[in-house]
Structure 1
Amino acid sequence: MAYWLMKSEPSVFGIDHLIDRKVALWDGVRNYQARNFLRQMQKGDLAFFYHSNCEVPGIVGLMRIAKEGYPDPTQFDPEHKYFDPKSPADNPRWTGVDVEFVEKFSGTLSLADLKTLPELAELALVRKGNRLSLMPVSEEQWQVMLALCQRA
């Protein structure tokens, strides 16, 4: 099993949206490195749900990869904001995965708090200049963050 951190703006798609839907397509990723991470995800992998671009950015819950990578349908929809006219149907550029709600934490483990932990110094999220919308998390990092989330 692998571990991930996946970011979304709560005003666009937040943990409460996932609670309502139970399972949802994680779409709209238009960065090649992040896309490659999506292609590595396996059914059953776990991910932190991270709220970004909000008052208190941070980890708010857990989700599970419910369906491995498949072509993100939004790339083919000319009416959609994630439409990519250069993505060929026979070799799509962009990938999505289905995520399944697991748990909403009682509080947010904030980015500010994450940055104070020496155990997380190598986590891409806390390194200066990292803007990826999703990233792998080592098992050690996962255990540190999960313990803090469940204590909150």
Structure 2
Amino acid sequence: MRSRLPLAGILIAILLASCGGRPGLYVSIGGETVPMVLGSVSQGTACSTSHGDAFPQLIPLTTVRLPTPLEIRFEAGQGATAIRGWIYDRDAPSPAGGPIEEFSLPASRGAYETRSVLPGRTYDVTVNVEWSFVVTRGEETHLFRVRAEP
């Protein structure tokens, strides 16, 4: 019985780690919290993967009165391994319809300074958080809208 206790402890730790929730994401600009909506989630194990899309109709708008470029700060929860994002200009979309900026942060937190954001325009931002626990992994995509005012 004694020799099985350490093994049982390890198995319980793995089970608890695999049952953890998604890491979530906190975003701020100029110290102001940016409200977001969840766009999609995927979660998987070695045996299966599930995916869900939310298709939100209303994306919250945050108006910031700061000089450009904007510094957007990101902080994801436990288990996050990378943060990627795309910025789209709603007022003057790119000819190909793609993002005007892309960024990648190799950790669960960091900041990105915009290069193309101009005062008086509105931008859609898509942020993808990749995460991994002991036996599960996944991604969650968050959406928000920001308007830069001088």
Shorter-normalised TM range: under 0.3
Which protein is richer in helix relative to its size?
1
Q: TM (normalized to structure 2)? A: 0.25
Q: Larger C-alpha radius of gyration, 1 or 2?
A: 2
Q: TM (normalized to structure 1)? A: 0.24
Which protein is richer in strand relative to its size?
2
